[in-house]
Structure 1
Amino acid sequence: MSKSWKSTLKLPVSSFPARPNPKFQQQYLRQCADDLYAWQSANRPADNPFVLHDGPPYANGPLHIGHAINKILKDIIVRNQIQRGHRVTYRPGWDCHGLPIEMKALGSGNGKGMSPVKIRDQAKRLASKTITEQLKGFRAFGVMADWDNKWTTMDGGYEARQLRVFQRLVRHGLIYRKHKPVYWSTSTRTALAEAELEYKDDHESTAAYIKYPIVSDWSSVPGLERLDGPLYAAIWTTTPWTLPANKAIAIHDDMIYSVLQAEGYGILVASSRVEAVRKFVPAASVLAEDIPGSSLSGLKYRNKLQGPSSAPQPIIHADFVTGDSGTGLVHVAPGHGQDDYEACSKLGIDAFAPINDEGHFTGEAFPEDPERLTSAPSILAGGSQTVLEIMGADVLGTHTIQHKYPYDWRTKQPVVIRATAQWFADVGSIKDDALEALKNVHFVPESGRNRLENFIKGRSEWCISRQRSWGVPIPALYDESGNAVMTEETIEHIISVMHERTTQAWFADDPEDPAWIPDSLQGKYRRGTDTMDVWFDSGSSWTETPEPADVYLEGSDQHRGWFQSSMLTYVAAQKADGKMGAAIKSPFKTLITHGFSLDDQGKKMSKSLGNTIAPVQVMDGTLLPPVKGKGKGPPKADALGPDALRLWVAMSDFTTDLQIGPSVLQPVHSSLIKYRTILKMLVGSLHESSRQAPLTKLDQIALMQLLDTMEQVDEAYSKYEFHRGVQLINRWIANDLSSFYLESLKDRLYCGDGGGVIEPIFVGLLRMLAPITPILVEEAWAHRPQWMVEDSSSEHPGRQPYAAPLVTAERFTVAEATLREDWKILSTIRDSVKLALEFARVEKHVGSSLQCSVVINVWENHLQVSDCLARYRDELEDIFVVSSVAVNWAVPDEPSWYVEEAFSQDDWAGTVTILPPTDHKCARCWKYTAEEEDGLCKRCDEVVAALPEAAAGGV
């Protein structure tokens, strides 16, 4: 009867589960997040800090996949920095003010009848509730942070620091009030900054050609002697609703104009636009041409919408006029366009915008019959058509165009340009300093530099006032005439009152409350009701960090948002403090941007398409086909927890948009299962005796491969190329660890002395995975054997310095350079052996590679190759996973079967021949090295003889 030698083998024994155990997940989450953050805060040196400043998420809804991308990337970074020996500071923040929260607080009634105080109370409750929910969600992702020390833009202390920043800008004259055109959202009834806009390329407008009668003497204009009837100036506009605000018509002095003779009147147009205009006046002929634009400046025309008794309006020169579109004469409404405003302000022409906050015309739009326009639809919902009806016969023609147009990025509704009195920050005087500071910033990806620089270059001023209730008040006082007063001293007084009463009191106190008015001001004053742009709120968050942060990381849309506002407020504050020149700084040393989530077809996610994915769906496995579990129940979702979500983020190149869906998640899922399988095997194969066992040359090759991989992964992580780091880990697991070392080690590990370098491989793998899959690392570490638990020198891989040695150098017996050259030779020959073995399996000569012997013949007996093979002579069978290896031996004549395969590299070559084994199968290790059938090989015989009798016996 054959004996069973199983009890004599050192087979892997591990309690590490094949799938996460939900029972312990919360414990592992706490240990790898809260406990680790507290540990590093206490144990990492304070003089080696790393600060990641949180770009605050907006507190107005549940977490989506974009939140997961952002927070997990930040978490990977801070975990890796802990491994590098830094004391990390990562305080989570939330952006709490602004319109989306206010609109939710207003409810379906749109806030009718609600006081500012009531709105603010509702908004604060909504933001607070959302923060609690989002914080819980972020922690469920395994994100470590100083959660008990979070900050929000609605904290009293934060608001005070923000007002101090504002005060510094006022001190330096960087804040001013002006009545001028700004972007105005009629859907939210407030001014907007450029950063709050998005542009649609397919916006439809009704464009119109309009003629205005010239009422001044044109006899000095050359070529008009033969004109029969009055003369009209033709303009073209894509916004007919702005015609009531028309204050001038612009031409260009250096352009050439013509006059078309229509029935009973002439039409003045640019010569380059004659044919375009004749499409709408087909019977017109060219009466005069070659009229210089300079001869038209100073002519006067009448604006019908301002009534028959209104003053004539001028034709002026403007540099922005071209002959490429329209008529070459431009309708100028200084209350509805920045270029128009600048051209008119030089001439003393006031900005005029006869519309209200909701986008309806006021009585000033058509004084002759005010109700005609005040009762009309809003300017974006039919108001243009009413204006054109009033213009009547002066409309030469209309057509529909599609063009690029700004939209409110929150409500997704079109915006308008409207002149109102607003507060502005002077960007023009600081943008050169900001651009200079950016030169010292590291960008990931580098393309972010041009993007941010272009946004800053394109701005001259920043509209910072908003006509809303939920925000930090602009600390302005107004006298009885409506004149604003805002000085460093008045702000100081207001901040002191807010310190006692909070910012809520600014809106709640009696309007006549004198406490808000400093003694230096005489007379009656009222408090302003404008609030600050939320970008000024979040842009002031650098006040939370004493020095510039090491990293800012957000989505690429924040180049125009938080990155820009942070940069501008930080530089402006330095300028206000006189800290410019050599001391100029950016609030961040490294600026990292990530892309947005797409579905697995590359489409943008949206609720209307039904392709959105919630983070929990990735964690609970419901996006993938269910798998058959233990027992007779139906297949279940394979829930791999937060690590599945984290590994997807890490495996994606975050510098581009990130795709997610079943087809994308399947390889992520497979990789995570592979990690668990490998770790289960490693944990089960950890033997304390291996620490004293000699390092074989095979062990040293495996360590070399591990250390090479760790170094490459470390470099990838240092460059924030996490996807490349994961690729390197996966390649090492597949090519070096699984298919080479563990295969080669199996005989020694199970049947021999149990040696090898499993422990350093286990620790090294966990170090590489610690920033990516920390819950898995925590779980694997918890299942290490008791002798490792009791070893005080065995520190947690997530806390160890990444570069800490895994094996003492004195245990190595072969020089590194020699190992590398040897491995080039051995791996080349091994590949040929594996290929020959595959042919042998296909021909059904063998099932297991142990059923083979190998003969290696090196052509011309190349010395370097022969020396290498001789050096590894006692380990070749393990390296090739065969029963015997002969080098430079003659292949036996007429074997029962054989397979031959050539190998070559550089200037050497040879063959490997696979042959039947020469000895019998060992009943214990299954190598064909026993002298007799069902016997043991010499090695196994010695191992069994050394075992206690109970372990050696058994049937």
Structure 2
Amino acid sequence: MHWGLRPRGPGAVALAAARNLWGLPRFPCRPGWRVTTWRLLVRPVTGASNQQPNPNSGKYRDTVLLPQTRFPMKLLGRQQPDMELEIQQKCGFSELYSWQRERKVKTEFCLHDGPPYANGDAHIGHALNKILKDIANRYHMMKGSKIHYVPGWDCHGLPIEIKVLSELGEKVHNLSALEIRGKARSFAKAAIEKQKSAFTRWGIMADWNNCYYTFDEKYEAQQLRIFYEMYEKGLVYRAYKPVFWSPSSRTALAEAELEYNPEHVSRSIYVKFPILKPPPALASLSDGSSPASVLVWTTQPWTVPANQAVCYMLEAKYNKSRLCTDLENSTCTHPLFPDKVSPLLPASHVTMSKGTGLVHTAPAHGMEDYSVASQHNLPMDCLVNEDGIFTDVAGPELKNKAVFEEGTDVVIKMLQAAKNLVKEEKLVHSYPYDWRTKKPVIIRASKQWFVNIMDIKPTAKELLKKVKFIPGSALNGMVEMMDRRPYWCISRQRVWGVPIPVFHHKTKDEFLINSQTIEHIIKLVEQHGSDIWWTLPPEQLLPKEVLSQVGGPDALEYVPGQDILDIWFDSGTSWSHVLPGTEQRADLYLEGKDQLGGWFQSSLLTSVATRKKAPYKTVVVHGFTLGEKGEKMSKSLGNVVNPDAVINGGQDQSKEPPYGADVLRWWVAESNVFTEVTVGSSALNAARDDISKLRNTLRFLLGNVSGFNPETDSIPATEMYVIDQYMLHLLQDFANKITESYKQYDFGKVVRLLQAFYTRELSNFYFSIIKDRLYCENEKDPKRRSCQTALAEILDVVVRSFAPILPHLAEEVFQHIPYASEPRSVFRTGWINTSSIWKKPGLEEAVESACAMRDSFLGSIPGKNAAEYEVVIVIEPGLLFEIMEMLQTQETSSTSQLNELMMASQTTLLAQEPREITADAIELTGTFLINLEGGDIREESSYKVIVMPTTKEKCPRCWKYTAESSDMLCPRCAEVVGGK
């Protein structure tokens, strides 16, 4: 067959300049290429056969260098969780935190652990939170920072107390406060051990022997210091105010302890308030025969007996059939008690958007109502006790009746009897419930301790502007929650918690707290814990100098208060106990979105109150875990995902197989955690499949660096094959993007980048191209060593890139690296390390222009073996031809870099059309744009790809169609085998 000549194109000087600019020698290649490229996506090798020499057939099987590794392709059944336990033991997971703390490094990264609640087994929400934290910690540790991470637990509070009391049944009535506290402590300790065991199994890096607990003596003492510091500054005070009150728990609740039930049903009513003193305009319209009334609407009929006023909106126009416009100084008759007057008052909280535009005001049972009462000196009497029962003051008809039950019914009947009930209807709406008892709460005035957050808010909001929030929208959410909060009630009427350290006068409405009393109590608590409030007699809880001033031990005028601190104050002061150094400021807080109104906020408020600084630099907020279809998890629906069952398998392992901890961690990392996170069998199966594909990639890498020693066998980057250099160029770009994604805590992007790289760039592209060079060249041939050099670098970068997410797999891979003299821990050897000489943008033009032609070739033979064809590439003289000539110096070759990329039997490169082509040839045309130096040299070149069936035979060793006959080796294989 006669091919055309390979003449040089015109403009030799320009082409020579371009060649120097490219720095693309024939082989080896030189560094320093500088171009602006038009980037093609590297497409999978379609239409090419991935067949490889069969080691079990033919006399040449022992001459083929197939991958050699003991790294298993799959771990079936119990093999995965068993392997993880073995890796944790062998690779020193339990010692890793202590090891990194002892390193002499310049930077420290502090992630402050928001304390999970010590009231049950570890659940899937814990897994999401703890694994996200661990990924962040492991990344920063590998980057060279010393990690400060002290796990903690929230140990006090109502939920634990309720659980303990519910388990005791009738026996609870015989228990003292100290006995309840003892049982609550034991319960919390048992829950902590169970959760700690789960967190350890998930691979969470920490010193599990040194955690913080809110029931620890020193923690409680420090909390009391913060309390008193805020009290001294006038930021903590005691007052009679309406608060959220849980009758089912008999205690005040903070807003963060509420959950809203959208299906709550209220008996809403429209009530007439007869006008006692009408405004002049209305009086002139009335004939005196039918007294006018104002109409109000309420969803809480039980609060009507406590009414003290009706509020209206300033400057609003009311329909004259109901009212006239001038309401100032008017009064109404109470709808239940004719001898009681309810004034009409203007108020800023009244709107015309719902109800009648006139608001029934009961100061003891509403936050805005209380504000109105404060301005106008209205009575604030509360008619309801701690159990949600009407007291004697409510009158004989209501006395001893529960407000939500019979009490509401009686109030409605009383309004009917007074002929002031206009309408009653059921209303389904969102209503606050106690987060633990799942029963509705009421708003009820009582004497409580409050934090004056109005004085803290301006500074807190200003400081938040300097905090980085991920996602950014979380900042607005936190500010909005803070703005909606008029005050923070920090007292609770329970016994399992830290006592508010005040003494109340026995007969007067006075209390005692000062620097002397607080220091004395703090010393006692540091030594013995907060149980002293119940174990020691009152006279021992006071210092001697104060005791003598308040009646002495025999006639003591004060008794210890019975309130405990809100557990949000407990956990909100954790920064003062846990964070290191004088700065006491964490690099990162990372919790669920519910903490925007909880721990994030209580931590901020206590820190700003005492030292005018935020306790965190960055706040990462994740969503909640939901069932597979986006539904809330519940036992009744049977969609609760148990992390232990995920790792070790459930009772029916055909439905709940043992996935291991790494699958759990991959699910966490790949999820869009900044929204709600769904989990179920399909998500877990998908995670397992993803890891399985990654294992196959790792197995190929490990198997093909067998017999290779990077220290002695590596090829300098500038002397490697162009395709190998190109992969290092891509590898550096991959490493930079991975690092930036970890830095931004976008672990989902890490997973996506990793999947794209090992699927598209490695498995579908690079591995398919290099198999022949790896398997069939001489073991020590520089061409093969060039490829192994790239594979070793790829292996190292890829393993480190996913190590924070999949620590067990990463350590398992490091156990199988053949050239490691002794197995090392990936976490003790640093982060990804790349070389600046890998970055060669010009390589993209060189490889991707060849790939464009290869795609044309492979697209023309779908489903066929590319090795059964030969390719002729015709390119008009110019830059593109020069580039291709650098990949193939000979006119025709079956072993050139260009032919390796094409994956054909042989490739011929011509600058003009061949004189003859066969009748069955396929002709394809295309163009490729070359853009050098930002457009200074820009050239669009045409090319033609001619595809023809090869005339050669299949080599019995390499299976490429490059032999003269089927029983003869091709020239390359003959040379390799001959050498052996």
TM range (shorter): 0.7 to 0.9
The whole-number CA distance in structure 2 between the counterparts of 1:586 and 1:185 is 32
1:880 aligns with 2:908: no
8 A contact 1:52–1:549 mirrored in 2: yes
Bigger drift between 445-454 and 399-408 goes to 399-408
Q: CA deviation at 1:177?
A: 0.2
Deviates more, 1:797-806 or 1:722-731: 797-806
SS of equivalent residue, structure 2 residue 640: coil
Give the whole-Å Cα distance in 1 for the aligned partners of 2:907 and 2:687: 40
Q: Decide whether aligned partners of structure 1 residues 708 and 553 sit closer, same or farther in structure 2, where only a CA change above 3 A counts.
A: same
* Residue aligning to 2:869: 852
Q: CA deviation at 1:80?
A: 0.8
Pairing 1:426–2:452 present: yes
Aligned counterparts of 2:174 and 2:117: Cα–Cα separation in 1: 27
Query: Equivalent residue for 1:819?
Result: 843
Contact between 2:797 and 2:833, CA under 8 Å: does it hold in 1?
Answer: no
Name the residue aligned to 2:333: 301
8 Å contact kept, 2:957–2:973: yes
By how many angstroms is 1:594 displaced?
0.7
Query: How far apart are the structure 2 equivalents of 1:855 and 1:457?
Result: 73
Q: Which residue of 2 aligns with 1:559?
A: 596
Structure 1 residues 597 and 624, CA gap change in structure 2 (3 angstroms): farther
What is the CA deviation profile of residues 74-99 of structure 1, one whole-angstrom value per residue up to 9, with x for unaligned ones? 11111111121111111111111111
- The equivalent of 2:530 in structure 1 is 503
Matched, 1:126 2:187: yes
1:17 maps onto 2:45 in alignment: no
Q: Find the counterpart in structure 2 of residue 545 from structure 1.
A: 579
Quote the Cα distance in structure 1 between the aligned partners of 2:714 and 2:213: 56
Distance 1:514 1:408, change over 3 A: closer
**Which residue is equivalent to 2:63?**
8
2:367 corresponds, among 323, 338, 343, to 338
Amino acid at match of 1:509: L
Which residue number corresponds to residue 351 of structure 1? 380
Instruction: Tell me if 1:60 matches 2:97.
Output: no
- Which residue identity is paired with 2:909? V
244-253 or 587-596: bigger deviation: 244-253
In structure 2, what is the Cα distance between the partners aligned to 1:510 and 1:393? 54
Cα deviation per residue 1:473-509 (whole Å; 9 max; x = unaligned)?
1111111124222233322222122233320121233
Amino acid at match of 1:55: G
> Whole-Å Cα distance in 1 between the matches of residues 324 and 444 of structure 2?
37
Structure 1 residue 448, shift from structure 2 partner: 0.6
Change (3 A) 1:872 1:198: farther
SS of residue in 2 equivalent to 1:271 = coil
8 Å contact from structure 1 (residues 98, 534) kept in 2: yes
Q: Which has the higher contact order (CA 8 A, sep 6+)?
A: 2
Could you say what secondary structure the match of 1:816 adopts?
A: coil
Summarize the Cα distance change of 1:9–1:320 in structure 2 as closer, same or farther, 3 Å threshold: closer
Whether the 8 Å CA contact 2:279–2:328 is kept in 1: the answer is: no
SS of residue in 1 equivalent to 2:841: helix
What are structure 2's unaligned runs of at least 5 residues? 1-55, 552-556, 890-895, 930-939
TM-score by length of 2: 0.84
- Corresponding residue of 2:442: 416
Q: What do the CA deviations read for 1:198-240 (whole angstroms, capped 9, x no partner)?
A: 3334432222333455667989973166202666555433212
Cα contact 1:254–1:293 (8 A) shared by 2 = no
Amino acid at match of 2:610: A
RMSD: 2.8
Separation in 2 of the partners of 1:909 and 1:618? 56
1:187 matched residue in structure 2: 248
Rounded to whole Å, the distance in 1 between the matches of 2:652 and 2:736 is: 34
CA distance in 2, matches of 1:526, 1:96: 26
Compute the displacement of 1:379 (Å). 0.7
- Give the SS at the match of 2:59: coil
Structure 1 counterpart of 2:644: 616
Amino acid aligned to 1:467: Q
CA distance in 2, matches of 1:360, 1:638: 52
- The reply to whether residue 868 of structure 1 matches residue 916 of structure 2 is no
Deviation at 1:416, TM superposition (A): 0.8
SS in structure 1 opposite 2:425?
Answer: strand
Could you tell me which amino acid in structure 1 is paired with residue 928 of structure 2?
Answer: Q
Shift in alpha-carbon separation, 1:771–1:214, aligned structure 2, 3 A: same
Alignment of 1:563-582 (within 5 A): 563-574=600-611, 580=612
Q: Which residue of 1 aligns with 2:966?
A: 933
* Residues 324, 181 of structure 1: alpha-carbon distance in 2 compared, 3 angstrom cutoff: same
Residue 672 (str. 1) matches residue 719 (str. 2): no
Contact map agreement 1:44 1:86 (CA 8 A) in 2: no
Q: 1:142 aligns with which of 191, 199, 203?
A: 203
Matched, 1:443 2:463: no
| 1:42 aligned residue | 102
User: Relative to structure 1, is the Cα distance of residues 638 and 363 closer, same or farther in structure 2, using a 3 angstrom cutoff?
Assistant: closer
- Give secondary structure in 1 for the equivalent of 2:755: helix
Q: 1:82 to 1:302 in 2, by over 3 A?
A: closer
Q: Is the 8 A contact 1:896 1:916 kept in 2?
A: no
**Aligned position for 1:292:** 326
Identity %: 38
Q: Is the Cα–Cα contact under 8 Å of residues 119 and 187 in structure 2 kept in the other structure? A: yes
Aligned to 2:404: 380
- 1:12 is aligned with what amino acid? P
Evaluate the alpha carbon distance shift between residue 912 and residue 349 of structure 1 in structure 2; reply closer, same or farther with a 3 A threshold.
same
Which residue of structure 2 aligns with residue 913 of structure 1? 946
The 1:900–1:176 alpha-carbon spacing in structure 2 relative to 1, beyond 3 Å, is: same
Q: 1:654 aligns with which of 663, 673, 677?
A: 673
- Other-structure match for 1:262: none
SS in 2 for 1:78: helix
Could you tell me which amino acid in structure 2 is paired with residue 86 of structure 1? Answer: S
CA distance in 2, matches of 1:313, 1:933: 109
Partner Cα separation in structure 1 for residue 800 and residue 625 of structure 2: 29
Deviates more, 1:14-23 or 1:176-185: 14-23
Verify the 8 A CA contact 1:41 1:88 in the aligned structure 2.
yes
Listed one character per residue, the Cα deviations across residues 735-792 of structure 1 (whole Å, up to 9, x for unaligned) are: 211122222221121111342222111111111111111100111111122x3225xx
**Contact 1:701-1:823 within 8 A present in 2 as well:** yes
Q: Say yes or no: does 1:759 pair with 2:778.
A: no
2:21 equivalent in structure 1: none
Aligned-partner residue type, residue 919 of structure 1: K
Hey, what's the Cα distance between the residues in 1 that align with 2:353 and 2:198? Answer: 55
2:571 alignment partner, SS class? helix
In structure 2, relative to structure 1, the CA distance for the partners of 1:136 and 1:892 (3 Å cut) is farther
Q: Count the aligned residue pairs.
A: 874
Q: 1:125 to 1:325 in 2, by over 3 A?
A: same
Task: Within 5 Å, give how 1:882-897 maps onto structure 2.
Answer: 882-888=904-910, 893=916, 895=918, 897=920
Hey, what does 1:739 align to over in structure 2?
A: 764
- 2:403 aligned partner, one-letter code: I
Contact 2:217 2:528 in 1 (8 A): no
Structure 2 counterpart SS, 1:179: strand
Distance in 2, Cα, partners of 1:612 & 1:469: 32
Distance between the aligned counterparts of 1:217 and 1:927, measured in 2? 105
Give the corresponding residue for 2:173: 112
Match of 1:91 in 2: 150
Q: State the partner residue of 1:632.
A: none
What is the CA-CA distance between 1:44 and the residue it aligns to? 5.0
Does the 8 Å CA contact 1:215/1:302 hold for their aligned counterparts? no
- Residues in 2 aligned to 1:637 and 1:320: alpha-carbon distance in whole angstroms: 54
8 Å CA contact retained: 2:450, 2:487: yes
The question of whether the paired residues in 1 share the 8 Å contact of 2:279 and 2:326 is answered with no
Shift of 1:856: 1.2
Alpha carbons of structure 1 residues 520 and 701: separation in structure 2 relative to 1, 3 Å:
farther
Counterpart-to-counterpart distance in 1, 2:162 and 2:960? 76
**Alignment partner, residue 706 of structure 1:** 731
Q: Tell me the equivalent position of 2:12.
A: none
2 CA distance for matches of 1:85 and 1:156? 34
> Aligned partners of 2:178 and 2:446: how far apart in 1?
25
Aligned 8 A contact 2:868 2:949 in 1: yes
Q: Could you tell me how far 1:241 is from its partner in structure 2? A: 0.8
Find the residue that maps to 1:683 and give its secondary structure: helix
Cα 1:619–1:222 shift into 2, 3 Å:
same
